[in-house]
A = this chain, B = another copy of it.
Amino acid sequence: MLKTVIVGASGYTGAELTRMVHQHPSLELVGLYVSANSADAGKPISDLHGWLKGQVDAPLQPLKDVSEVGKKADVVLLATAHEVSHDIAPLFLEQQCTVMDLSGAFRVKGDNFYPDYYGFEHQHGEWLDKAVYGLAEWNEAEIAQADLVAVPGCYPTASQLALKPLIEAGLLDGKQWPVINAVSGVSGAGRKASMANSFCEVSLNAYGIFSHRHQPEISAHLGQDVIFTPHLGNFKRGILATITAKLADGVTEAQVSEALENAYGDTPLVRALGVNQSAKLQSVQQTGYCDIGWSVQGQHVILTSAIDNLLKGAASQAMQCINIRFGFSPLTAIV
């Protein structure tokens, strides 16, 4: 049994991680932590997430001595803010913990990314270099060896899963940037009181236009510029991404279908729905699946990619990485 700790356990992703670690036959949940000054410190997690009551009622402990916690843990899941993950991941890694970081702090290598998009200078370049991007279906071999996994962002997961097969197969016109429009449920904004996610203020709107940090994450990992526009929708969970891209000259629908079906022929958590199928949010909400549909007309392809932002977009993808890393059956605690 691997002793597992979750930091940042009070949020929506933290609660899902808690559920999955609890359900996992080979993981032993040994600690739930929040920041030392959190108002939730001391409360049972099920006070915040009533659905967990009777399953996990462990207290949210204030995280004070990271190294001490790290000494008693094998696996650490960080559902913390980027700057927090940036600071504490190395402390856990020094204790030989395997760390799954769900923040953006170790997702993109290179000198400029963190100053440009996250507003801080990265102080742990060596860990940034070693970090493995946790896009489970695509980086399995590397994840299997990783000490530090940077779990992808939710929108980047939905976007890359749809586009990578086409880009890897050279099917896209390199000169036009794919246009990604995605709508997310409000849980993506985190568990907090703010006007923007106040019930009466939510309807549907685009935000972070030309400026959302998930766009450079997507571009960096696809090796392709994209235009990415996120939207906040009036539902709790899920992301639907609609991607419009120009195909390279002469590319046919059959080639597009082949690329997607080959990529996902034996990946149980990514369901290539088929040509002329359209992904539905309801089919993935509350599940660890990603559904991808696509259509081709003339020189354009439109793909739809649906995930649950808290699961395939965060917690269940982290669990996939744990299963890969430690050789557990790939769907354990997920399906």
Contacts and interface: CB of A to CB of B under 8 A. Distances in A.
A186 B209 contact: no
A203 B201 CA distance: 16
A205 interface: yes
Contacts of A205: 240, 278-281, 304, 306
A96 interface: no
B280 A203 contact: yes
A107 interface: no
B227 A300 contact: yes
A176 interface: yes
A281 B204 contact: yes
A54 interface: yes
B231 A240 contact: yes
For this chain, the copies found in one complex come to: 4
A207 B187 CA distance: 23
Nearest to A194: B193
B244 A229 contact: yes
Nearest to A298: B210
Contacts of A236: 199-200
A268 interface: yes
Interface stretch (A86-94, A156-164, A285-293, A322-330): A285-293
B209 A278 contact: yes
Contacts of A176: 176
B289 A51 contact: yes
A242 B193 contact: no
A191 interface: yes
Contacts of A285: 51, 203
A206 B304 contact: yes
Interface residues of A, number: 66
Interface string A203-235: 111110110000000000000000101010111
Contact of A206 (B51, B193, B227, B278): B278
Given A229-B242, A229-B244, A287-B51, A282 B203 contact: yes
A279 to B, nearest CB: 7
A204 B183 contact: yes
A53 interface: yes
A297 interface: yes
Nearest to A197: B199
Contact of A187 (B179, B200, B280, B287): B200
Given A181-B242, A198-B193, A302 B227 contact: yes
Given A51-B286, A202-B282, A206-B304, 11 more contacts: A53-B271, A197-B199, A203-B282, A204-B235, A204-B240, A204-B280, A205-B240, A205-B306, A206-B242, A227-B300, A229-B244
20 contacts: A49-B283, A51-B283, A51-B284, A53-B289, A176-B176, A179-B181, A183-B231, A191-B201, A193-B193, A193-B198, A197-B199, A199-B199, A200-B236, A204-B280, A205-B281, A206-B278, A206-B279, A206-B304, A227-B244, A233-B234
